[in-house]
Structure 1
Amino acid sequence: MEKIPNRKEIIDRRALVLAISEIAEQHAPSSFEFRRDVLKQLKVTFDNGNKAVEKRFLQTNKGRATMYAQCFLVDQLIRTIYDAATQYVYRLSNPTSEEKLSLVAVGGYGRGELAPYSDVDLLFLFPYKQTPWCEQVIEFVLYMLWDLGLKVGHSTRNVNECIRLAKKDTTIQTALLEARYVWGDQDMFKEMYRRYLKEVAAGHSREFIEAKLQERKERHERYGNSRYLVEPNIKEGKGGLRDLQTLFWIGKFLHGTTDISRLVELGVFTEKERRKLTKASNFLRSVRCHLHYLTRRPEERITFDVQTELAKRLHYKDHAGTRGVERFMKHYFLVAKDVGDLTRIFCAKLEAEQQKTSRLPIPRLGLGRRKLKGYVVESGRINVEHEDDFKKEPVKMLELFHLAQEKGLDVHPNALRLIRQDLKLINRSVRNDPRANQLFLEMMTSHKDPETTLRRLNEAGVFGRFVPDFGRVVAQMQHDMYHVYTVDEHTIRAIGIVSQIEQGALKEDHPLSHNIMPKIVSRNVLYVAVLIHDIAKGRGGDHSILGAEVAEKLCPRLGLSPSETETVSWLVRYHLAFSGYAFKRDIADPKTVEDFVQIVQSPERLRLLLVLTVADIRAVGPNVWNGWKGQLLRELYYASETALTGGHISEGRAERAKHYQEELRSQLKGWKKKEIDDHISRFYQSYWIATSNEDRMKHAALMRKADKEKSLFTIETKSDPFRSVTEVIVYTADHPGLFSRITGAMSVSGANIVDAKIHTTTDGMALDTFFIQDSEGKVYDQRGRMKKLRQAIEDTLQGARKPHLEIIDRREASLPSRTEIFKVQPGVILDNKASNTHTVIEVRGRDRPGLLAGLTRTLFNLSLSISSAHIATYGERAVDVFYVKDSFGLKITNKVKLASIEKKLLAALSDGTEKQKISTPAKKAAGGGS
């Protein structure tokens, strides 16, 4: 451990020992009073020491020094407790050779680094077999530590057991590698460690390294296999502290040292790399200490609810277009990236040693060495022939990755190391080089796994240097619960998804996108648009508009024609339009399709925009895409395609309604003419336009059966796993507030409504269709849920249940959610242009249980009838859209009434839970996607 200044400020062990000796004079060491008073004294000392260490840390932000100080504090406590046990409670006047004990720190504690709330890992080492005296002392020490509130991971072994188990178990082998003598019999510890180095470590470096690298790989897979998760695990995640520790474990096993300066002398790292490693190590340790102090527990995950406070404590301030918390997380991801670079460098050094020594620390991945187009291929990885190749010809930095992709090779760590050193050579001249741009475009649009190649380019730093606009979003996160990855990782994943759709790998998930891909005229346009669609995030303006401007400059450089450049710019400008119209507008309303077609204007753009939208949504995170979203996108696509290819979807409303009526007449087999006439006359024109032929047939059968049985309340349900939705049709007598009551019943039953259609018949019946999902975005039909939902709706309609009161009670009784740290500005947009027949109300706010039920209840109290509702959530944000009419069946045009609607909906959004300032957005958002 490093030298700790003013140690007595943390703990004065001499004073503590004196205080315990005074307690021993007052009480018999075997008495309850002795233990009570000793524990009390230890607690005071421990609390004061913790406060001193924390105070120093908050003044300096030095995590490494804090971990050493915390370790020193615990060391002194353990030594004092052991001495109290052996000198007072279990004192031996004439100990035998077996009555010896050595207290050994292992794991992180053994390394001398103890985060504020981390576990204390102790090994109690005894000579041959455990004696009653050993057991008593161990028990005394452990109980005292537990009573102090420490979490102790302990093992009790003799020297032979340590060696035997270390040979069999890599975890024990690693723990003992960092073993450190704390107190007790020092000779026994020295003997154990001497035997460990001789019998366990010597000659077994190959097996150890293989095991640690495999362990690292499995750990990465468990923790998301990406260092760009927006809630990373600082200890176990990719690019975290455990990766650094793995390097030190291997270094110590091979070279017998964890001293970075010594590893530089041995040629493992350069001086520049040493500085980078030390910087990364110090940053991660400081963040971890802040995380522990902030949460008051051994928390290792940097969750959303602590990120803002961590950023403040580490002095990250808001800048134009970027919040302090986003700057902090960007720094974190860049540090994690550096850790990945250092890992590859270290592995390269190991491989070089492999070729020089017979010890073979790492197995070869392949045999033979051959030349390939001016490069060298060894062990299945491509490398440069000469160390100065990149300096002579910087374009080779791109050519190397291009060749690796073409031939299915990995890139040699040595080449990556040289690239990192020569990145500054990628300047304006290289960026404007036609050959360099051709190589980049070919890699991005290749049929051979462009995602992996682009990720390698990004990891090496080449991507951001060659496309500086992309470099600005490398490691940039968005502080919300919708986006799972950083912007650069999201973009690379989106390109990978487009490639998978094109190759047919996602045919079952995205059948329409798969089918239209061959019809797309320019693949280059699509791939470049995906590259640029989020490239302007974090600039303080509308990233769609700013990104379109980037496209106009970047596309010609990449070799795209003026026509292709215009299309890419348009795609970036409107990349959120498809999802916005599909998820937030009523697709059955002709005005929705009419407005969308006005934006799209051509079938080719429609195809491009669909695939871009699918890739964009799917690349947001693992659970964002579902079948219902796919269904909405397909419906809008087909309706728009019809309009763009000569169909008149918004014309001839009365004629179309009449056509659908005649179509139904011909399909209702077994019905009498009067029955058919009566059924058709029960619906208004809007019903025939807004429903499909399949729905009309289904409704006719349901209504006929219910009417024959004189049922006052009928529910029919059907789940569609492909669309990830359960359809619920409710047929009952219409009355004011019906829709609001049903949504309330669904809310208290745990069903999430994603869409709803409301139809009222001429004879006063309601035919309401709801599309619902469970909390995970899947069908709502598991474990008898539908039976409970049906009962909840029936009880609510009969007045036996009051869902709006249940929702309030549940909210008051529930624990605060970590989503509450997100500030979502409530907003209400009243739009009379989006539909020819309805006023469209878009409501935005922070999502919470019962939000939809509260909004629909407010609309009912405002005497508005809802014709359809479209519900979307983006992490913590909810965007609900309602198509409404007034009590006379007309649009709402009165300014006073519109103002009242806005005011009361904003109040419903707040409902005592939103503590933010409430205002109405100045303009309508595009919405959707990411």
Structure 2
Amino acid sequence: MKFTSLSDYLASHEGHASIQKWHQHIEQQFDTSFENGNSIRHIILARSNATDESLRLLWKKAGLEDSEICLFAVGGYGRQEMLPYSDVDIMLFSEFELNTTQEQAVSQFIASLWDTGFKPGVSVRTVQSCMEQASQDITIATSLIESRLIIGDERLSRWPRQIVNQAWTDRAFFDAKMQEQKKRYSQHNFTESNLEPDIKNAPGGIRDMNQIAWVAKRHFRVGRIYDLVHLGFISEFELKILEAAETFYWEIRHHLHRLTKRDENRLLFDYQRDIASKFGYNTPKGQSANYAVEQFMRRYYRKAQQVATLNEVLLAFFNQSVIEPRSTDYAKQVTVLNERFTITDHKIAVQHHRVFSENPSAILEIFYLIAIHPEIKGIRARTLRLLVLAAKNIDENFRQQPKHQHLFLKIIQSSKRLYETLSHMRRYGILGKYLPAFGQIMGLMQYDLFHIYTVDQHTLFLIRNLERFKEPEFAKDFPVVSSVYQRLKKRDIIMIAALFHDIAKGRNGDHCILGAQDAREFCQLHGISPEDTDLIAWLIENHLLISLTAQKKDISDPDVIQEVASKLKDMDHLDYLYTLTVADINATNPKLWNTWRASLMRQLYTQTREVIRKGIDQPVDYQMLIEDTKFYASERLVQNFSLQRVEEVWQELGDEYFLKESVDDIAWCTHAILEHEASNQPLIKLRAHRKTAQDAVQIFIYTQDKPNLFATTVAVLDRMNLDVQDARIITSKTDFSLDSYIVLDRFGTLLNEPQRQEMVIKALFDALSHVDEYPNLMQRRIPRQLRHFNIENTVTIRLDESLKQHKIEISTLDQPGLLAKIGGLFMMQGLDIHFAKIATLGEKVEDLFYVTKKNGGMMSNDESEHFAFQLKSALDEASNQITNSTP
């Protein structure tokens, strides 16, 4: 398609023509052309040419045509990569300082750019200032490499690159750009697999391709990356990969710009569904609602991984073929490992280029050698290129070779840095080819806020966490699990379980069961003993057991602990599973791990351990537990109060209180009640929950029972930016309520700012003093990301015969004031809450409540079904309001 030129447009629109209107006109043509299937490359180039045409006209109108000043395009504009809302970065370049006439003309030119609708990034430099600034700032030097003359004195067109060549040696420029890339990677957690990737700056993004071009252009003096093929720096195959990724990224950026009406490069949740649809991704019947967006993002992650790999390969090749040989202090150090490999300058290298073709087992052997030789710091560039090509030959015949199976197992068993080794195997294409099931999860993301990495990256981070448990610096943060990990009998068991624990995600069926089946086949094929195979498969099948129990059940209930212990059977199963679980949670979303969550896991582990040690079949002696708890709590209290006064308080409470509460909590709460003189006023106390959970705050409330007490309390806590994690509500025989809440502070200041503590206590006191008034639920701003999730609301109500209480489980979209809304519904139904457990998993909450009627009775079947319907309807209405709300 031919686009309307500026001269043609101005000629045919006399009296009404303007450059700005012309740009609006051709942008419509660009969009139509792209929608009709024309190449994004053609459109980007056409937009750049159109910008050139406009700037030349404005330059001439400003009287700068014969001014001895050059106008250069720099940055993305210099590369002729112009998206709909890209900045127009330009440099006005002259040999000498501008005179007054030139300055006035330049000011007129710049003003005309803004008047025309451009958003220019302008620099005005002389040869001398350019030299000074470029030598001090690698960013400026980089922009000069990509400078492209638009109009002006041709004599000066070569100056920008010559300045860079004078200001920076090959080594200095290369080292500065690599340091810059390292800093950029660190801002994205050194992974291309983040949930909301920045397609421009994240690892594997556009900047990684730019980096290759910048380094090569600085040395080889070429204008296009294609020219590097003829110079032998890059192969045709590698160039095709980069061009395909670049085209894909440009198409994404085009859609992002059009959706946001700005220069947006982040693939936020807000845009992922729309852009997946633009690329033609649809959800087939029978698939989850997120299928289309997950497939689109999978394509992105795989492209990003390819680009990141080529970035590593080509820059390493440049370093070893250009930088090192030119260094005066360079002396190659070579250690022969065997007839196939050497260690050259701390990196492993092949002895000759036919190593992988003549010895296919060398594809795995190289990683085994890396695993057992800590002095090896990487793979030499030429070897790496050969390895990436050789990986394509891994097939079923390769996988069935006993020698190869033995080598792969030895990598897992021998490596002291398995995470690093497997990460390289994944990046270079070996891991996904050797384990096809792992290849299926590469780039697979889950469209939620809980799993913040792709499945393959999460799996590798899990293995990294396991390895860290043996390091002293991490033992400080994970003291219990580090100790447990140290005494595991066979660490390769937990590593294999980790490798396979999520390998079946994305398939139809239970990924725990399917993953266990895959692991059994792997173990049998690789000669692992039946006993170890059974343990590995069991760990995979049950890898969610401990985390789900800690998140969704009342782990102070002896029956819950007994149930978990019966599934774990012995200490080996407990130790392996506990270690795997802690590593798994931290690899899923480190931000969700805190000392409160850690304390729950630790409590579950220690209590289960005690049951296993005493004997799983030994029944729980509830009466003895109650008596022991009272005895140890009274020992702490009789120092300040008579035993009679203590027992007067306790006799108003039921056995369940002493069965489920800790000695420390009972003593603290009882002490507060006995000291409380104004018994008709609410008592509110606050403290750190326990030494092992520094970020959790315990709030104790003692006040006369009221129907909307829970709703009022959680509404106030929500307004004070406190997230409830756990709630226990005991109603005494005298109709006083003993409520204990565990909260996490969104600001993290509650425990160390007395003024804020006083504010929370005062807010609760004021609200509870007027508890008859239904709480005014403040609607906090709904987080941006929550608007893009359609969570199915579920409500399940079951009768717990042993407790004579109804258990209500709610799964819904996280939202401000949710607990208060639920509490209000409980109040209107005439229900008392005895226990609540709140689990926030990304965008979703899974809440558990134990309730009875006000008189302690239970709901009938009809009443529970009706209330479940009411709850579900209220949650559906609230979710619809969020989904349909305007950001």
1:282 to 247, 252, 256: 247
Counterpart for residue 811 of structure 2:
844
CA distance, structure 2, for counterparts of residue 858 and residue 147 of structure 1? 58
Contact 2:725 2:744 in 1 (8 A): yes
| 1:752-763 map, 5 Å | 752-763=723-734
Inter-CA distance 357–521: structure 2 relative to 1 (3 Å threshold): closer
Contact 1:377 1:383 in 2 (8 A): yes
Counterpart for residue 28 of structure 1:
none
Counterpart for residue 795 of structure 1:
766
Displacement of 1:123 in angstroms is 0.9
Displacement of 1:393 in angstroms is 2.0
Counterpart for residue 52 of structure 1:
29
CA distance, structure 2, for counterparts of residue 64 and residue 321 of structure 1? 34
Counterpart for residue 714 of structure 1:
683
Contact 1:63 1:287 in 2 (8 A): no
CA distance, structure 2, for counterparts of residue 455 and residue 477 of structure 1? 17
Letter paired with 1:389: V
Letter paired with 1:62: S
| 1:720-759 map, 5 Å | 722-723=692-693, 724-759=695-730
Letter paired with 1:907: S
Letter paired with 1:46: H
Counterpart for residue 344 of structure 2:
378
Displacement of 1:785 in angstroms is 2.8
Counterpart for residue 694 of structure 1:
664
Q: Which is further off, 606-615 or 64-73?
A: 64-73
Counterpart for residue 78 of structure 2:
110
Letter paired with 1:730: I
Contact 2:205 2:304 in 1 (8 A): yes
Inter-CA distance 191–660: structure 2 relative to 1 (3 Å threshold): closer
Q: Which is further off, 798-807 or 852-861?
A: 798-807
| 1:525-544 map, 5 Å | 525-544=493-512
2:390 is paired with a residue whose SS is helix
Contact 1:107 1:121 in 2 (8 A): yes
Q: Which is further off, 104-113 or 825-834?
A: 825-834
Inter-CA distance 890–646: structure 2 relative to 1 (3 Å threshold): farther
Counterpart for residue 60 of structure 2:
83
Displacement of 1:194 in angstroms is 7.2
Contact 1:591 1:650 in 2 (8 A): no
Inter-CA distance 479–778: structure 2 relative to 1 (3 Å threshold): farther
1:907 to 873, 878, 883: 873
Displacement of 1:436 in angstroms is 2.8
Displacement of 1:769 in angstroms is 0.7
Contact 1:725 1:778 in 2 (8 A): no
CA distance, structure 1, for counterparts of residue 669 and residue 626 of structure 2? 16
Contact 1:434 1:559 in 2 (8 A): no
Contact 2:171 2:323 in 1 (8 A): no
Displacement of 1:780 in angstroms is 5.9
Query: What whole-Å deviation, never above 9, does each CA across 1:548-607 have from its counterpart, x for those lacking one?
Result: 221221222233211221222121111111111111111122332233233222222122
1:78 is paired with a residue whose SS is helix
CA distance, structure 2, for counterparts of residue 862 and residue 528 of structure 1? 50
Displacement of 1:264 in angstroms is 1.4
CA distance, structure 2, for counterparts of residue 276 and residue 705 of structure 1? 74
Displacement of 1:531 in angstroms is 1.0
Contact 2:70 2:94 in 1 (8 A): yes
| 1:59-458 map, 5 Å | 59-60=36-37, 62-86=39-63, 99-183=67-151, 185-190=152-157, 192-193=159-160, 195-196=162-163, 199-200=166-167, 204-318=169-283, 323-354=291-322, 358=326, 367-374=332-339, 375-408=341-374, 409=376, 410-446=378-414, 448-458=416-426
CA distance, structure 2, for counterparts of residue 850 and residue 473 of structure 1? 37
1:859 to 797, 807, 826: 826
2:590 is paired with a residue whose SS is coil
Letter paired with 2:208: D
Letter paired with 2:50: L
Displacement of 1:45 in angstroms is 1.5
Inter-CA distance 278–670: structure 2 relative to 1 (3 Å threshold): closer
Q: Let me know the Cα RMSD of the aligned residues.
A: 2.6
Query: What whole-Å deviation, never above 9, does each CA across 1:614-660 have from its counterpart, x for those lacking one?
Result: 01100012312111111111112222222222268863323432333
Letter paired with 1:785: R
| 1:614-625 map, 5 Å | 614-625=582-593
CA distance, structure 2, for counterparts of residue 523 and residue 84 of structure 1? 75
Higher relative contact order (CA 8 A, sep 6+): 1
TM value normalised by structure 2: 0.93
CA distance, structure 2, for counterparts of residue 197 and residue 533 of structure 1? 51
1:644 to 612, 621, 636: 612
Contact 1:865 1:887 in 2 (8 A): yes
Displacement of 1:121 in angstroms is 0.7
Structure 2, unpaired ranges of 5+: none
Inter-CA distance 678–357: structure 2 relative to 1 (3 Å threshold): closer
Q: Which is further off, 562-571 or 743-752?
A: 562-571
Q: Which is further off, 780-789 or 207-216?
A: 780-789
Q: Which is further off, 427-436 or 625-634?
A: 427-436
1:553 to 505, 518, 521: 521
CA distance, structure 2, for counterparts of residue 778 and residue 587 of structure 1? 28
Counterpart for residue 764 of structure 1:
735
Contact 1:321 1:541 in 2 (8 A): no
Inter-CA distance 424–107: structure 2 relative to 1 (3 Å threshold): closer
Displacement of 1:73 in angstroms is 2.2
Contact 1:381 1:411 in 2 (8 A): yes
Counterpart for residue 512 of structure 1:
480
Letter paired with 1:729: F
Displacement of 1:147 in angstroms is 3.3
2:854 aligned with 1:887: yes
Inter-CA distance 452–697: structure 2 relative to 1 (3 Å threshold): same
Letter paired with 1:898: S
1:843 is paired with a residue whose SS is strand
2:672 aligned with 1:676: no
Letter paired with 1:210: D
1:317 is paired with a residue whose SS is coil
Letter paired with 1:848: Q
Letter paired with 2:632: E
1:730 is paired with a residue whose SS is strand
2:835 aligned with 1:868: yes
Query: What whole-Å deviation, never above 9, does each CA across 1:664-696 have from its counterpart, x for those lacking one?
Result: 344422432431331221211111101111111
CA distance, structure 2, for counterparts of residue 429 and residue 219 of structure 1? 41
Q: Which is further off, 709-718 or 384-393?
A: 709-718
CA distance, structure 2, for counterparts of residue 740 and residue 213 of structure 1? 55
Contact 2:685 2:761 in 1 (8 A): no
Query: What whole-Å deviation, never above 9, does each CA across 1:306-345 have from its counterpart, x for those lacking one?
Result: 1111111112233575712111111111111111222233
CA distance, structure 2, for counterparts of residue 380 and residue 486 of structure 1? 31
Inter-CA distance 497–151: structure 2 relative to 1 (3 Å threshold): same
Displacement of 1:486 in angstroms is 0.8
Contact 1:304 1:480 in 2 (8 A): no
Q: Quick one: percent identity of the two aligned structures?
A: 28
2:7 aligned with 1:13: yes
Contact 2:74 2:90 in 1 (8 A): yes
Contact 2:71 2:150 in 1 (8 A): yes
Q: Which is further off, 145-154 or 117-126?
A: 145-154
1:657 is paired with a residue whose SS is helix
1:597 to 529, 543, 565: 565
